[in-house]
Chain A
Amino acid sequence: MTVTLFDQFLSPTLFKMPLIAIALVSPWLLHHVVTTRFSSERLLSVKKVSVSALTKHIFQPLGPLGHKWALMFVSLFMFLITLNVLGLLPYTFTPTTQLSLTFSLALPLWLATVLIGFRLDPTRALAHMLPQGTPPLLIPVLIIIETISVMIRPLALAVRLMANLTAGHLLIHLISTGVFLLTSMMPMTAILALALLGLLTLLEIAVAVIQAYVFVLLLSLYLLENV
């Protein structure tokens, strides 16, 4: 059986049972909701402060119609950030490296923003296809380009998240294999590669957080255009 570097991304199964379902439930382990206490302990206070700061930041430009999406976006953000960061632990499986997951999150949400725009104000929604102040000669070309750019948004959202995480995990695998094999032959190079691995891990943590944020931010911007 050939073993490739991409085997880490295969959806794991145990006796043919897809374990991605259990990996998807793992964020639930870490986010406990306690509603019976007035003032909460350390961990919950930190989470409350950061979640309310994030909500205010994302929903400030959106009007009252957009505020209905607050629960959706914030829970999506917590879900993605937990999945991404948990995937950096050794031997764990990251569900967001599967295009099936990211695309199934991106497509319905993007489609909802477009449909809301067409339902509330179709003229304004169609007017997005043409930026203000374009020279008349360029209008046909620009309409085609803008339509394509709108149509490609769900794919871009999905692939951005998937590709960033996949690339990061792959790099970590490659460099750690290199470090492991170099320790016997060239120790100094191995130490340099180990330093590189440390920096890469820090980068991956940052990427995991940022990608979740970017996903939700872009969706809120698409909503802002259309709401």
Chain B
Amino acid sequence: MADRPVPVAEKRLMEVKLGELGTWLGRRDYSPNGIVSMFRRAHTRYYNKYIGVKKGGIGGIAMLLAGYVVISYVWSYDHLKHDRWRKHH
């Protein structure tokens, strides 16, 4: 079955062929509005999959918080590395 040809920039990442990856990356919308909408789409997809379900448990938010803790550790590593082998804290 032949699908209608879709412009490269509008395809989803999983449907882009390897050779087209450079074109795809180049044509995405990197303006401030575009970047905000990237985050918004990602957040909406995550929310609808894990948190916004009828009997959502603690897992959806717990994953977000765990990710936040990991990111905070990475940010403050420069300050934390002095603590590891200090003799007097």
Contacts and interface: CB of A to CB of B under 8 A. Distances in A.
B21 to A, nearest CB: 28
Interface string B65-89: 1001100110110011011001001
Nearest to B78: A14
A92 B82 CA distance: 17
A26 B43 contact: no
B34 interface: no
Contacts of B30: none
A21 interface: no
B54 interface: yes
A3 B52 CA distance: 44
Nearest to A42: B56
Interface residues of A, number: 25
B51 interface: yes
Given A3-B82, A30-B61, A32-B43, A93 B53 contact: no
A1 B82 contact: yes
A184 interface: no
B55 interface: yes
A29 B68 contact: yes
A177 B47 CA distance: 37
B51 A32 contact: yes
Contact of A92 (B52, B53, B68): B68
Contacts of A181: 89
A32 B89 contact: no
A135 interface: no
7 contacts: A3-B82, A29-B68, A32-B44, A32-B52, A41-B52, A44-B52, A90-B73
A91 B82 contact: no
Contacts of B51: 32, 41, 43
